[in-house]
Amino acid sequence: MSRPQSPEPALNVQGASSIGLGDEDAADGTQHSHRMLSFSDALLSIIATVMILPVTHTDISPEQEFDKSIQKLLATRIAVYLMTFLIVTVAWAAHTRLFQVVGKIDDTLALLNLACMMTITFLPFTFSLMVTFPDVPLGIFLFCMCVIAIGAVQALIMGYAFHFPHLLNPQIQRSAHRALYKRHILRIIFHGPALCFVAAGFSLFFYPALVTCLSDVELEELPHVLDTRFFSDRRFAHAPSLLVTLPDAQQSYLLMATVIFLPYVSKAASWCRGRLVGPREPPAHSLEFFTFDLHGPLSKERVEAFSDGVYAIVATLLILDICEDNVPDPKDVREKFSGSLVAALSESGPHFLAYFGSFATVGLLWFAHHSLFLHVRKATQPMGLLNTLSLAFVGGLPLAYQQTSAFARQPHDELERVRVSCAIIFFASIFQFAIWTTALLQEGETLQPSARFGGQEHAFMFAKLALYPCASLLAFASTCILTRFSTAIFHLMQIAVPFAFLLLRLLVRLALAILRALPRLALRPAPTRPAPGGPRDDTCSPLLPAPC
């Protein structure tokens, strides 16, 4: 927070790179990194969301109740998904910081980046292995090896870039303290791998000691936090107890928690120290002007690209399933439906309805995100974290789809399923709303003038972001009262919200038209269209949200 301006140059360099390649770059074999970064963002966002597939494809046969083994499997898979998502996001953030230092690329760097991507693709697999076999040290060992490999490739990239300084960010390139920067950056890069190295050593040599030593002390910490949302559901009410039966998994969870929350912990520690000892002196070589900082804001462009990737893959994971499973087999049609294709298709009708609803939900959440980030100038660390949490729930939407499309088969679970879907949508959208409120806390730095308090787009933005939380909460509440119509309520919500979005704009247009028709109310002439909040209040009544 102490260096609000520093990332701007790096960001602008990246933004400008999309304009096109000046041929002068070709002369020394360097290239702008814009396209490579977009490709990396796309890959990483897909890798982050991939572990939702084992969750959605968990087969629960109709006759079987949610017995303990299924609950355990599902809970483990959901935990794996959430953790993998957070881990890959951490890897993505590290990649972002890396390429804030490296301004341009050449062929070798592009190839090294591909190698880096490849090692990252193994994170979900090794993590999943680690959780599935908590009592086998090999799982944790492989995961640690993977993290170490990523660190090694990143260090290689950094070493290469510092060896050919014309590839570096112009700011660092011109700096007199380049060697100092190099040491500083390499130290940050080796942070995670070093930790994993220790953990791998532990897992191999001190494993028996560790198991006895770590008793149930930290047990309830992480899985609890992550899963209480899911377990609040009635049918899952006794699920937390089963986590207690998994004491061996704590080791891997603890390791993960350390890797993920290390930046935040170190930030909190430095903040506390600052409070106790007084603000630290800036170091002699003015390292604080430097953008490669674990606590500095992320490049807004890359946050957008990563989010786009997640939304795109989530929207299309649904169509992947539809295309693969819902084209009826000609043999089945002949035998079961006596040749009638219409009958065969109408059997998977609920699937299509659920697909429509889910695609609309993902699309509109993307739309809200897009509208929000249009007005964001800079994505600070807390905003990035909230965005990640929002995206993690968006990644859970295929689960919501699977829940709703399974209605036809298992009517007795209907209510629970609708509620889980509502909860997922609610959390995905409420975290978006939280990004907005967090941005408002520092609105001077983070928002465009029009979206700030009193700005002309403020009320409208509030309405856009509040629509989904309100709708899903309303749907959830109605299912509590009208339990029999829960499915109908849910589908009604999914169909009504897109129209609400369209009408939102129309209502604002109407308000603007009224404003223009009453010229004595207009404070400035028509072309700039001032909207002093007043006439728009009828579209969205609580104008000033309490900063939570």
303-342 positions binding its own copies, by CB under 8 A: 304-305, 308-309, 311-313, 315-316, 319-320, 322-324, 326-328, 330, 333, 341-342
| 150: enclosing H helix or E strand | helix 137-163
Is residue 363 within the footprint of its own copies (CB under 8 A)?
Answer: yes
| Listed ranges 179-187, 282-290, 465-473, 501-509: which one lies at the site for its own copies (CB under 8 A) | 501-509
Is residue 118 within the footprint of its own copies (CB under 8 A)?
Answer: yes
Q: Which position among 6, 7, 10, 51 is part of the footprint of its own copies (CB under 8 A)?
A: 51
DSSP string, 216-262: STTTTSHHHHHHHHHHTSGGGTT-HHHHHT-GGGHHHHHHHHHHHHH
CB 433 within 8 A of CB 469: yes
Is residue 111 within the footprint of its own copies (CB under 8 A)?
Answer: yes
Q: Which position among 60, 70, 114, 510 is part of the footprint of its own copies (CB under 8 A)?
A: 114
Rounded least distance, CB 164 to its own copies, Å? 11
Q: How many CB atoms lie within 10 A of CB 511?
A: 19
Across the strands, what pairs with 447? 376
DSSP string, 25-90: HHHTT-EESHHHHHHHHHHHHHHHHTTHHHHHT----TT----HHHHHHHHHHHHHHHHHHHHHHH
Rounded least distance, CB 228 to its own copies, Å? 25
Q: Is the dihedral of CA 331, 334, 336, 340 positive or negative?
A: positive
d(CA 253, CA 71): 19
Question: What end-to-end distance do the CA atoms of the chain give, in Å?
Answer: 20
519: Cβ–Cβ under 8 A, 6 or more apart, which residues? none
**Tell me, what DSSP letter sits at residue 452?**
S
Rounded least distance, CB 279 to its own copies, Å? 32
Site size for its own copies (CB under 8 A): 90
| Listed ranges 135-143, 177-185, 284-292, 415-423: which one lies at the site for its own copies (CB under 8 A) | 135-143
Identify which of residues 411 and 449 has a Cβ nearer to its own copies in the complex: 449
Identify which of residues 142 and 148 has a Cβ nearer to its own copies in the complex: 142
d(CA 435, CA 373): 10
Identify which of residues 364 and 415 has a Cβ nearer to its own copies in the complex: 364
Is residue 374 within the footprint of its own copies (CB under 8 A)?
Answer: yes
Q: Please, which of residues 56-85 interact with its own copies by CB under 8 A?
A: 57
Is residue 420 within the footprint of its own copies (CB under 8 A)?
Answer: no
Please give the structure tokens belonging to residue 132.
């599935």
d(CA 80, CA 140): 14
Identify which of residues 21 and 495 has a Cβ nearer to its own copies in the complex: 21
Identify which of residues 287 and 504 has a Cβ nearer to its own copies in the complex: 504
Rounded least distance, CB 263 to its own copies, Å? 26
Is residue 370 within the footprint of its own copies (CB under 8 A)?
Answer: yes
Is residue 488 within the footprint of its own copies (CB under 8 A)?
Answer: no
Q: Please, which of residues 431-460 interact with its own copies by CB under 8 A?
A: 448-451, 456-457
Is residue 367 within the footprint of its own copies (CB under 8 A)?
Answer: yes
Rounded least distance, CB 118 to its own copies, Å? 5
Q: Please, which of residues 510-529 interact with its own copies by CB under 8 A?
A: 528-529
DSSP string, 293-331: -TTSPBPHHHHHHHHHHHHHHHHHHHHHHHHHHSS--HH
Is residue 136 within the footprint of its own copies (CB under 8 A)?
Answer: yes
Q: How many CB atoms lie within 10 A of CB 133?
A: 15
| Listed ranges 136-144, 173-181, 195-203, 513-521: which one lies at the site for its own copies (CB under 8 A) | 136-144
Q: Which position among 124, 357, 395, 469 is part of the footprint of its own copies (CB under 8 A)?
A: 124
Residue closest to 460 by CA, chosen among 372, 329, 342, 331: 372
Rounded least distance, CB 389 to its own copies, Å? 21
Q: Please, which of residues 222-241 interact with its own copies by CB under 8 A?
A: none
Site string for its own copies, 266-305 (x = CB under 8 A): -----------------------------------x--xx
Identify which of residues 131 and 415 has a Cβ nearer to its own copies in the complex: 131
d(CA 42, CA 44): 6
CB 152 within 8 A of CB 120: no
Q: Which position among 198, 269, 488, 502 is part of the footprint of its own copies (CB under 8 A)?
A: 502
Q: Please, which of residues 27-46 interact with its own copies by CB under 8 A?
A: 27-28, 31, 35-36, 38-39, 42-43, 46
d(CA 365, CA 394): 8
CB 426 within 8 A of CB 472: yes
Is residue 107 within the footprint of its own copies (CB under 8 A)?
Answer: yes
In the three-class reduction of DSSP (H, G, I as helix; E, B as strand; rest coil), residue 2 is classed as coil
Identify which of residues 128 and 381 has a Cβ nearer to its own copies in the complex: 128
Rounded least distance, CB 251 to its own copies, Å? 16
In the three-class reduction of DSSP (H, G, I as helix; E, B as strand; rest coil), residue 133 is classed as coil
Is residue 375 within the footprint of its own copies (CB under 8 A)?
Answer: yes
Identify which of residues 319 and 521 has a Cβ nearer to its own copies in the complex: 319
